Each structure stands twice: as structure tokens, then as C-alpha cells.
Structure 1
Amino acid sequence: MSRPVQTRVNERIRIREVRLIDDEGNQVGVIATRDALEMARERGLDLVEVAPNATPPVCRLMDYGKFRFEQSKKERDSRKNQHVAKLKEVRIEPGIGGHDLETKGRAAQRFLESGNKVKITVLFRGRSITHPELGTELLNKLAVQLEGSGVIEQAPRMEGRNMSMTLAPTRQKVDSTQKEDTSGKQG
């Protein structure tokens, strides 16, 4: 396993010359590393290598503690804003009643609207396996019911004694609800 790349700071920078950027973001130019370290000490800052692969490496005068804090803050924010789509499952049987099917459809719709993928599974028990067309019919009914909330990612197919179909959420649904909210606030 390789170690994570660490930023070199102050005396850990062992190159003769560096391209220096001062604390205000102005480019000073290519100078000796000793001189850059001296400038950093005079200003009470650190010499931080920001682009080690450039020739010569680019270093910047900054407060290293503050720099590390900002980096960790950016990482936390990016992790917080990520939404991992989970796969939710709705199970039905071929002999399901009409109202029960609608209820399962509403549950699947809630999952899709919250940004999750939905796997709808028809469980064939006993002799019902001899009529797979009933499962296809049920899945097609649900696909029509969920047309506005999701798109078919995987068409109905048999998996052993079960038939399943996967739906993914549509982004248009989310965008349209946000537009309705903003138009209601203006009037």
C-alpha cells in the first residue's frame, strides 16, 4: 500500500530553486529555497509546496495550519453534499389485489422521489411459476404508474423463481418541484 501524498513544508522542501508565490497571491519568481524560507520566517508564515510536479516546484507563503484546516473543511463539505443512491426493494406476488398494487406503487414512488433506485420483485410461489406473464403484466402496470417519477433501468427479467425490474429516479421531477416552489414565493 502506498502512503498518502503529504505536502512538503519549510525544511522538508529539499530542492535548490522554487517558483515562489507570496501570501497575497503575487508571483515573486524563481528564487533559491533558502531565500524563500527566510522570507517565510520574516513574515511569520510557512513555505508550502503546492505543485511538486512542476519544474521548478511551485511554493507558496501561507499559514500551514490554516491551509490544512481549509482542506479538511472542503473535504467534509464535499462528503456532506454527496448523495449515494441506495437500492430499495418492493416485493409483490402475482395474486396481489388492485389496491395493494397501488399502495406498493406509492411506496416505490416515495423511494424514487427521495433519490433512491427501486427494485420491484415479483415472488412466484408454488404453481404460480407456470405463469410468468402475470409477473410481466404487474411490472408493466407499475412502470406505467411510476412513469413520472422514474425510468426503467433494467427491464423485467427472471432471476430464479423471481422476476424483477429496476427503476432509477428522474431528475426532471426534482427540478420541476423546485420551480413550483420558487414561483409560489414570488406571488
Structure 2
Amino acid sequence: MQYGFFIDAKYCVGCKTCQIACKDRSDLAVGQLFRKVNNYEDGGWVKRGEAWISNVTSYWLSISCNHCANPACVKACPTGAMYKRTEDGLVLHNAADCVGCQSCVWACPYDAPQYNPEVGKVHKCDGCIDRVQAGLRPVCVDACPYQLIDFGDIAELRAKHEGTAHVKGLADPNRTTPSLLVNPPTGAISSPIGGNRK
């Protein structure tokens, strides 16, 4: 069992409702986000024959902790405050063991752990573990007005949705094996070789 997220970036309009719902649930300070909705742009003008044409790609991507199978944050944490649960694969943080060194912040290629200067410790997305244990979905999933985010066992998400973790704008998934599946817009796949495409 490995919990993960599916993001349908092909149809995301960047409304940031998921980001706001997460921020509200977690009562985060200004500048702190567990889920971030970012705009990615790529391309330019290319010459074809005598004409110049645009091959610009622009899309929104909602990303939080990807509860990676091989989490860099867990490896980097010197105290064991950052850990991965064996029963469901969620990557969690124990604030009592955190010394605020920020090693996890620097190690994570997805910018998931957030340093809180008010308490001198790190905190992060916990997959809304309290809601999941109560049979509910994470707030980001329920908040999306277009229902473009899904959460569950990553194997089931891969069977249900088409997608990949090889997306331009994100780190190489071979590094941490994120529990993430993205339905990318045209031109957003970074490397279809080795991806999770069906």
C-alpha cells in the first residue's frame, strides 16, 4: 500500500482553490504552502521552412509532498524526525524530534518541507492523515472545483488514470520515485522513457 496523488494538469486552470484549502486546513503563515499551484512555460519560436511558428506550452501544476517511495527528505534528516510509514507509505514529520536544521528542505526536489521560523522547525503535508483515517479525502482533493485531483493507493490510481511523473518543471522522478501521477498537457512530458504511461 502506497498512498499517492493524481493531478490532471491537462485541464487545470490555476484557480489555486486546492492550495487555499490546504493552507487554511494547516493554518499556515504567510509565505508557507504545503500545496503549491505553479505555472510552467516552455518553448518559443521555431523556423519551419520560410515561416516562424510558436511552440509555446503553458500549464498549471498543483504539487505537494509526493510521499515518495525513496524520499530524499527522510534520508537527509539527521534525527529521524522525517520518516515514512510502512503501512501506507505516507512521509510524515515528528516535530518533537525536529531540530530545525533544514536538511530535509534542501534535499527535497519538490520543495515540500517548509521551515517555520516562528518555531524553528520544519513542517509539511501529511496527506491529511486525520481525514484519511476517518474515511475522507484530503482537503485539496475535495476543494478542486473541477475534480482534477485524486488520492489513493498509487497502484490503483495508475490503473484508473493515464499519466506520468516525467513532467517538465518537476524533478527527475527516477531520483525519489514520487507517488505522483500527472495527466500532462501536450508538450509537458519531460522524458516518456521510463515513465508511468499506460
- TM-score w.r.t. the length of structure 1 is 0.20
Structure with bigger strand share is 1
Structure with bigger helix share is 1
Higher relative contact order (CA 8 A, sep 6+): 2
Q: Highest Rg: 1 or 2? A: 1
